[in-house]
Amino acid sequence: MPWPWIFFNLFVLAMLALDLGVFHRKSHIVSVREAAVWSAVWITISMIFNVLLFFWKGPTPSLEFLAGYLIEKSLSVDNIFVFVIIFGSFAVPREYQHRVLFWGVIGALIMRGILIGLGAILLQRFHWLIYVFGAFLIFTGIRLLGREGEEPHPEKSPLIQMLRRVLPMSGQYHGKHFFVREGGRLLATPLLLVLVIVEVSDLVFAFDSIPAIFAVTSDPFLVYTSNIFAILGLRSLYFLLAGVIKKFHYLEIGLSFILIFVGIKMVIAPWIKIPITASLGVIATILLLAIIASLRRDRRLQANGTGTEDPQTTIQTDHT
């Protein structure tokens, strides 16, 4: 039945129109309080949808949605760390960061929808791909463990280097505009370049997160809705956590173990079925332990007088 898809996408479009057309019509610096309120709003809406799923489809789909939402929400923290680096590297004014993330979310919604549709079709026709997805997640989790402490540099990707060469670009920001006319020529502003980098980084993360959600549910609607709800709350989560993201030192290690766990779950699924309640418990426990360990480490650093550096002030700026 297409009606759930139609109603859900109409709801998403209405919320995005309300966001940009009413609450964020004017560019401004998003405060921590505003970000906290919007984060609470998106989480509340997601949980209301989860309750509706419980009464509509039953407890198992509801738990599958919740597990997928937790996976995507935890992986989105890695996105936030990359966004901090991107905005710092290009010295994006704080009042225009929300605009970049808004249009970045629009692009992410489209890309995720396409990738989820392709993933569902491929898994239905070629069931053996579940082993490929599982092995990929295990490899990604192990690679994340080895990457600890390294900073990603999405701006150095070949696509971005090519874009810089072929696209006429202004040398400075022009407010919230992605394009500007100078001397009769239409030029892209650095803000457009930042938006493209944000989209590229989200595409990279999608290749991790989408197979991970297929590990807990094969229902495309649950995969899609859990993904979309997590993405819709990503902007407010960024403004809430950007200043303290480096306090969560062990969170990436936790994400690594989550990816390894769901990868193993996919690989062994034909022989051993891990109940969704057990999967949800493992994912929540890993996240909780990573957060507690990170906060305890930060308190030790504060007690020793070393503190935690603010990523917004330690990243070098580069007006490109």
Residue 17 has a CB neighbour count (10 Å cut-off) of: 10
Q: Is residue 224 part of a domain?
A: yes
Please report, to the nearest 10 degrees, the dihedral formed by the alpha carbons of residues 21, 23, 24, 30 taken in order. Answer: -170
What burial class does residue 284 get, using C-beta atoms within 10 Å of its C-beta: 0-12 exposed, 13-18 middle, 19+ buried? middle
- The answer to the question of residue 312 being in a domain is no
User: Which tens digit of pLDDT belongs to each residue from 1-19?
Assistant: 588 888 998 988 888 877 6
Domain range for 251 is 28-305
Amino acid 318: pLDDT: 40
The DSSP letter of residue 128 is: T
* The most confident of 141-150, 199-208, 246-255, 284-293, by mean pLDDT: 284-293
226 is a domain residue: yes
- The conformation of residue 296, written as its DSSP 8-state character, comes to H
Tell whether 3 is covered by a domain. no
Question: Confidence band (pLDDT; 50, 70, 90) for 60?
Answer: very high
pLDDT, mean over the chain: 81
| pLDDT above 60 (res 149) | no
Of the two residues 77 and 52, the one the predictor is more confident about is 52
Tokens of 293: 């360990």
Contacts of 287 (CB under 8 A, 6+ apart): 70, 74, 254, 258
Higher pLDDT, 261 or 85: 261
Condensed to tens digits (0 to 9), the pLDDT of residues 299-308 reads 887 777 665 5
pLDDT of 310 strictly over 50? no
Residue 231 forms part of a structural domain? yes
Number of domains in the chain: 1
8 Å CB contact between 116 and 224 = yes
Distance CA 178, CA 269 (A): 47
For 180-210, how does the pLDDT look when each residue is reduced to its tens digit (9 = 90+)? 887 778 888 888 888 888 888 888 778 777 8
What is the per-residue pLDDT across 152-175, written as a single tens digit (0 to 9) for each?
A: 555 566 666 677 677 777 777 887
Query: Mean pLDDT across the stretch 54-80?
Result: 88
Q: Is residue 114 part of a domain?
A: yes
Within a domain: 192:
yes
Residue 288: HSE in the Cβ half-sphere, 13 Å Cα cutoff: 6
Q: Which residue has the higher pLDDT, 88 or 118?
A: 118
Residue 291 is assigned to a structural domain of this protein: yes
